[in-house]
Amino acid sequence: MADIQTSIRKNQKIKLLNGQTVTVTGKIGEGGQGIVYRVKVDGTNEEKAMKWYFMYKINDPKSFCSNLADNVATGSPSETFVWPEQLTEVTNGSFGYIMEIIPDRYKALSKYLQARVSFKSCSAMVTAAINIVEAFQQLINKGYSFQDINDGSFKIDPTTGDVLICDCDNVVSFGKASGISGKARYKAPEVVRGDTLPNKVTDRYSLAVILFLLLVGNHPLEGARSNVPCMTGKYERRFYGQEPVFMFDEQLDVNRPVPGLHRNAIALWPCYPDFIRKAFIRSFSQDSLLRSEGRLIEQEWLMLLVRLKSCIVRCMNCGCEYFAESTIATACPDCMAYNTPPGYLRFDKKRTNVEITIPIADGAKLYEAELDERSKDYNTVSAEILVKPGKYGLKNLSKSVWEITAPGGKTVKKAPGEVAVLGTGFRIDFGNGVTAEIVANSR
Amino acid sequence: MGMIDRVEVPRKVCPVIILADKSISMDGLPIGSENAAIEGILPELASMNKENPDAFIKFALMEFSTGVNWKTGIDGLVDPAEYKWVDLVADGATSFGLACKELNNKLSVSHGFMKQASGSMSPVIILISDGEPTDSYSVALAELKKNNWFKVAAKIAIGYGKANDKVLEEFTGNPETVIHTNDVQELKNLIKFVAITSSMVVSTGQATKSNTDTNADPDDTTSVVADALKQAQAALSDATDPGEEW
């Protein structure tokens, strides 16, 4: 449909505001707001992407353009963001900007939601969730709001969980409106109701929706009640704005997932540890939906998600990855065998109000942010549970020397690369102010 | 089901229904344009379905002349990627009233096309006509206007040649979504443009006027599509050399 909505031609030269020119070499894709072209920067031959707007989709082109110019000047919050680098001059009544080309290994979140792409491992999936939250944190810390947050905004590598955030042209400073009307499914109810413009708190709701879609595979507000024959504007306002109900609300059971329709949620929700289910129940409680209260801040999500990543273990029966609870039996989602870990590590301090316990089970890993209070690294493995016949060990993959004390008082040190045998009542001082105790589960 | 296995998140169906006049006055170039345009939008709709995780466009085509016939079959809406195109052949009169009556029948969950497991979005209904109705249509149109699906649909009409725009306006309920042309080449472009723009606006969830105006009627999908068409027409007239585009 490009031929009827734009007049950019192949080989056309477009001037950038910094004086450089680019030559259009091909088309990359098309979205609701415009078309993305492949371009070469004249002189350097560097390949870039150029977004070119359908002007009629922009409510207030002047302020939209000025916001874009501000964002170009301020620069990207981090490498995760595919940020506007240079604006073009107005050409044939429209304009655009150039940015980096997204490598092919990144796939749009919308493809995951359509089950056309799937993660290669649980770890990649949770890493993607962590990366999304971190990106949000960076954005919010810079004073920006992501007003058009939706499934098209994220591109994810299914093998590593690496994330790129696209559509950064709709990012604005808090308190401003971007002129983009986003999708109701991703907007906070108070924005759908027209009570407020998007802000930090409404973005946190949208973040929770994205995380729920990513992990549980359905929309949190879409269940039996919202499954009307025709989703008219009135219904959209009601189900996403005025009377929203979470499909797993603890008090209201009117909007439960429908068998055959919301199959991911029905299959996967029971397989998540209690602390993750509680985080979503809180994120989509009536307090949150109707009064904007109780939404999780990014740091809470990060600690919950890294704890979730530490709970990924292999089923003793079928070898499938699943999320193990620390203290109770968990059903493997694939073979439905129940596994109970022999015990768990209980950390002495809560982190951002999140209690940390890690099941002792084959494959469980601890990450740097869990073993070092100052660390913001949620991906580097600092410890791993190992199994030998008759015993469990914890391998020190961190940079610190650990001190392990048995209940009888005997103390040993374990340097990086060494393995500490885990016994009931042992206390481990990981250094950096983090300590934990080994607790046995009753059998 | 493992933790990383998924089935598709249910998508609402976005019904796109085209009512195409094939009366004898369309014979020759007009019916050729109509055929080329409607056939041409099918891959575009299929391509939108690949990209949009919120909605899945399904399509129905009614041809009307002396009688009416669902080219896409009477079993319901079809996937645009799977429909095998067969050209319309011009003949007969312009039984617009009969077309309204038949559309009314099919805009129903219990005995029509609208039963979808995951529910639907507001339909997009496009009427293409080149002449005055040859039957008495008032009662049928009045009945159709009582249909709740019709009420919330985005209704657009394309008039060609001697089409009576007043009748088309009665159908859409909004003069801004009645577009007229006397140029047969433009007829083809218009059909394609209107079908794609309105399908995109509705299927991507941009059709809720309350997105930007909380006082607006959230179910007036037609006026949102009217805005999109109006603004997009400037861009349409810019494209003077289709040979240069890709």
Separation of alpha carbons A374 and A8, rounded Å: 50
Per-residue pLDDT of chain A (443 residues; tens, 9 = 90+): 333 345 688 899 999 999 999 999 998 887 767 889 999 999 998 999 999 988 777 777 888 888 888 889 888 888 899 999 999 998 888 889 999 999 999 999 999 999 999 999 999 999 999 999 999 898 888 877 776 677 778 999 999 999 999 878 777 766 666 555 557 888 999 999 999 888 889 989 999 999 999 999 999 999 999 999 999 989 999 999 999 999 999 999 999 999 999 999 999 999 999 999 999 999 999 999 999 999 999 999 999 999 999 999 988 888 889 999 999 988 888 888 888 899 999 999 988 888 899 999 988 999 999 999 899 999 999 999 999 888 999 999 999 999 999 999 999 999 999 999 999 999 999 998 899 999 999 86
3-state secondary structure string across A185-218: HHCCHHHHCCCCCCCHHHHHHHHHHHHHHHHHCC
B138 touches chain A (CB under 8 A): no
Backbone angles phi, psi at B208, to 5 degrees: -90, 110
B207 touches chain A (CB under 8 A): yes
CB contact under 8 A, A113 and B5: no
- Name the residue of chain B whose CA is nearest to A124's CA: B4
Separation of alpha carbons B246 and B239, rounded Å: 12
A28 touches chain B (CB under 8 A): no
A7 touches chain B (CB under 8 A): yes
Separation of alpha carbons A328 and A343, rounded Å: 10
Q: Could you tell me if residue B193 is inside a domain?
A: yes
B237 touches chain A (CB under 8 A): no
Report the SS3 class of residue B210.
helix
How near does any CA of chain A get to the CA of B135, in Å?
Answer: 31
CATH topology of domain A107-299: Transferase(Phosphotransferase); domain 1 (1.10.510)
CB contact under 8 A, B208 and A55: no
Q: Which residues in chain A have Cβ-Cβ distances shorter than 8 Å to B236?
A: 4-5
In sequence order, the 6+-apart residues with CB closer than 8 A to the CB of A436 are: A345, A346, A347, A348, A356, A427, A428, A430
Domain span holding position B155: 12-240
The domains of chain A are located at 2-99, 107-299, 337-440
Both structure tokens of B7: 């089935």
How near does any CA of chain B get to the CA of A373, in Å?
Answer: 30
CB contact under 8 A, B218 and A231: no
Q: Could you tell me if residue B4 is inside a domain?
A: no
Q: Could you tell me if residue B179 is inside a domain?
A: yes
Question: Which among B1, B3, B246 is the top mutation candidate for probing chain A, defined by the most A β-carbons within 10 Å of its own β-carbon?
Answer: B3
Q: Could you tell me if residue B113 is inside a domain?
A: yes
Question: Which among A156, A231, A247 is the top mutation candidate for probing chain B, defined by the most B β-carbons within 10 Å of its own β-carbon?
Answer: A231
CB contact under 8 A, B4 and A323: no
- Name the residue of chain B whose CA is nearest to A58's CA: B231
ipTM score above 0.95: no
Separation of alpha carbons A148 and A140, rounded Å: 14
Tell me what pLDDT residue A401 has.
Answer: 96
Reported as type and span, the H/E element at residue A394 is strand A391-396
| Second CATH level (architecture) for the domain A337-440 | Sandwich (2.60)
Number of domains in chain B: 1
Q: Taking the CB of residue B246, how many other CB atoms lie within 10 A of it?
A: 9
How near does any CA of chain B get to the CA of A271, in Å?
Answer: 8
Separation of alpha carbons A405 and A408, rounded Å: 8
Q: Could you tell me if residue B82 is inside a domain?
A: yes
How near does any CA of chain A get to the CA of B77, in Å?
Answer: 15
Separation of alpha carbons A191 and A189, rounded Å: 5
How near does any CA of chain A get to the CA of B2, in Å?
Answer: 5
B17 touches chain A (CB under 8 A): no
Mean pLDDT in runs of 10 for chain B (246 residues)?
A: 87 95 94 93 91 91 97 95 95 96 96 91 95 94 96 94 93 94 88 87 67 66 83 50 39
Place of tokens 């307090």: A287
Tell me what pLDDT residue B245 has.
Answer: 36
DSSP B78: B
CB contact under 8 A, B232 and A119: no
Residues 228-257 of A with CB under 8 A from B: 228-234, 236-237
CATH number at B143 reads: 3.40.50.410
pLDDT in tens, B115-174: 988 899 999 999 999 989 999 999 999 999 999 999 999 999 999 998 999 999 999 999
Start-to-end CA distance of chain A, whole Å, equals: 64
Contact yes or no for A315/A332 (Cβ under 8 A): yes
- Name the residue of chain A whose CA is nearest to B116's CA: A229
Contact yes or no for B33/B128 (Cβ under 8 A): no
What residue type is assigned to position A202 of the chain? T
Q: Could you tell me if residue B172 is inside a domain?
A: yes
CATH tag for A2-99 (out of 1.10.3430.10, 3.40.50.300, 3.30.200.20, 2.60.420.10): 3.30.200.20
- Which residue in B2, B109, B228 is closest to A229 by CB distance? B109
Q: Which residues in chain B have Cβ-Cβ distances shorter than 8 Å to A268?
A: 1, 3
CB contact under 8 A, A261 and B118: yes
Task: Write the burial class of residue A409 (CB in 10 Å: 0-12 exposed, 13-18 middle, 19+ buried).
Answer: exposed
Question: Which among B4, B110, B122 is the top mutation candidate for probing chain A, defined by the most A β-carbons within 10 Å of its own β-carbon?
Answer: B4
Query: In Å, what is the CA distance from A184 to each residue of A152, B52, B213, B233?
Result: 14, 14, 13, 27
How near does any CA of chain B get to the CA of A330, in Å?
Answer: 13
Q: Could you tell me if residue B2 is inside a domain?
A: no
Tell me what pLDDT residue A443 has.
Answer: 66
Q: Could you tell me if residue B149 is inside a domain?
A: yes
Contact yes or no for B207/B224 (Cβ under 8 A): yes
